[in-house]
Amino acid sequence: MIESPAPFSPEPPATGGLDQYLLHGRKEIRHLLLQLIGRHALINAYPALGSHAFLTALIVISDADDALYLDSSPDPATNRHIAAAGQLTCVTQLDRIRVQFLLTGLQPAEYEGREVFCARLPDSVLRLQRRESYRLSIPSSDHASCRFEPSRQIARGGLDCRIVDLSATGVAVDIPPGIRTGFVIGEEVGPCTLDLPGVAPITCILQVRNVSQRQPRAGIRVLRVGFRFVDLPRGVDARIQRFIFKVERETNARKLGDL
């Protein structure tokens, strides 16, 4: 059985806030990598220098020196870029659980007559549990919004709210000051429309999960409401994930530019 890779993005997803899912034990890491080898798991690999991502697979772990061998790219230019980078961020999935790790000490090698790469075993592996989902804070500059049509919870004319965080399983919005709503935890709301920059409008049903008062600016209180997606149409979760990766990439680029 061949395991599919994690959803592709030109840049590796960030791991901020996910330390509790990091695996550090050498024996456990080796066992997990052997599972990936046994399943012929496809891996999205991202060199440290730039965005020349390529698809690869782990081949074998050398018992002699604990070196990990993996397929090279069919493109010679990409292989030169990988060799210059010396490391790869690898993203895949195992039994639908996201797995991510960093390979360092990367060097060209040969295995059974073909060109490959070898690297040291990773010091840690991120294994994001099936029921967990990374939530991304959305900068206000991205102008991501959620449109609520008139309903029992929403007054006549509907309501447009700024999206403050987003994941593949849910969304949170801030209700503008002075707007009265009737959101009740557990109730479903919709259809609603998510407007994410660069993404076609997403129509969905939302279930209210939490309601709280926030004060992001002095003297101004806003109502924050968290929702869970209900039965998203096929492929929509992948579109949301691509948007999350895009925002992460742009945020990281801005931070690097400030250094």
| 173 close to 163: Cβ distance less than 8 angstroms | yes
Per-residue pLDDT at 119: 94
SS3 11: coil
**Lowest-confidence region among 100-104, 118-122, 212-216, 227-231:** 212-216
pLDDT band per the 50, 70, 90 thresholds, residue 155: low
Is the four-CA dihedral 68, 69, 73, 77 of positive or negative sign?
positive
- Our measurement of the distance from residue 35's CA atom to the centroid of its chain's CA atoms, rounded to an integer in Å, reads 22
Q: Is the pLDDT of residue 85 over 80?
A: yes
**What number of CA atoms fall less than 13 Å from residue 8's CA on the CB side?**
12
The token pair that represents 69 in the structure block: 């061998």
Q: Is the pLDDT of residue 256 over 80?
A: no
Q: What's the mean per-residue pLDDT of the chain?
A: 80
State the amino acid at position 180 in one-letter form. Answer: R
pLDDT band per the 50, 70, 90 thresholds, residue 7: very low
How many other C-beta atoms can be found within 10 angstroms of the C-beta atom of residue 208?
A: 18
The structural domains of the chain, with segments of one domain joined by +, span: 19-128, 136-254
Cα distances (Å, whole numbers) of residue 194 to 47, 57, 135, 170, 180: 33, 36, 16, 11, 21
| 174 close to 222: Cβ distance less than 8 angstroms | yes
CATH of domain 19-128: 2.30.110.10
**Lowest-confidence region among 23-37, 43-57, 82-96, 134-148:** 43-57
The pLDDT of 115-135, averaged and rounded, is 78
Helix boundaries (H) for the chain: 26-38, 76-85, 236-258
For residue 125, which of 153, 98, 164 has the smallest C-alpha distance?
98
The alpha-carbon radius of gyration of the chain (Å, integer) is 22
> Which residues, other chains included, contact 59 with Cβ-Cβ below 8 Å and sequence gap of 6+?
37, 69, 70, 71, 111, 116
**Lowest-confidence region among 22-31, 80-89, 151-160:** 151-160
Highest mean pLDDT among 10-24, 47-61, 224-238: 224-238
The pLDDT of 144-171, averaged and rounded, is 83
Task: Report the C-alpha gap between 162 and 174 in whole angstroms.
Answer: 6
Please state the pTM of the whole predicted model.
0.49
Task: Report the C-alpha gap between 9 and 53 in whole angstroms.
Answer: 8
The pLDDT of 138-156, averaged and rounded, is 80
For residue range 22-31, list pLDDT tens digits in order.
888 888 999 9
Share of the chain above pLDDT 70, in %: 79
Share of the chain above pLDDT 90, in %: 24
Helix boundaries (H) for 181-235: none
Is cis: bond before 176, omega within 30 of 0?
no
pLDDT band per the 50, 70, 90 thresholds, residue 8: very low
For residue 225, count CB atoms less than 10 angstroms from its CB and return exposed for 0-12, middle for 13-18, buried for 19 or more. Answer: buried
* 136-254 and 19-128 share a CATH fold: no
| 136-254 is a CATH 2.40.10.220 domain | yes
**What values do phi and psi take at 247, rounded to 5?**
-65, -40
For residue 78, which of 119, 47, 122 has the smallest C-alpha distance?
47
Q: Is the pLDDT of residue 49 over 50?
A: no
